[in-house]
Amino acid sequence: IDLHALIKWMKAHPGLIPKLVAHEMGHQKGDLSSAVHFSLNNKRYTIFLSCNEVELLLRVCLVEGNDFILLKDNGIREKSHYLTVGDVVRQRGRIQSLISSRRAPGDRANQFYSIFWAWWKSVQ
Whole-number pLDDT of residue 46:
94
Whole-number pLDDT of residue 85:
80
Which phi and psi angles does 55 have, rounded to 5°?
A: -90, -5
Whole-number pLDDT of residue 75:
55
Q: Could you say which DSSP state residue 76 is in?
A: S
Predicted TM-score of the model (pTM): 0.85
- Count the Cβ atoms, other than its own, within 10 Å of residue 57: 18
Whole-number pLDDT of residue 22:
92
pLDDT tens, per residue, the chain with 124 residues: 788 899 999 999 999 999 989 998 899 999 999 999 999 999 999 999 999 998 888 899 999 888 888 887 665 555 555 678 877 878 887 777 777 776 665 677 778 888 999 999 999 8
Per-residue HEC secondary structure of 26-74 comes to CCCCCCEEEEEEEEECCEEEEEEEEEECCCCEEEEEEEECCEEEEEEEE
Whole-number pLDDT of residue 74:
62
User: 10: helix, coil or strand?
Assistant: helix
Whole-number pLDDT of residue 42:
95
Whole-number pLDDT of residue 79:
54
Whole-number pLDDT of residue 81:
56
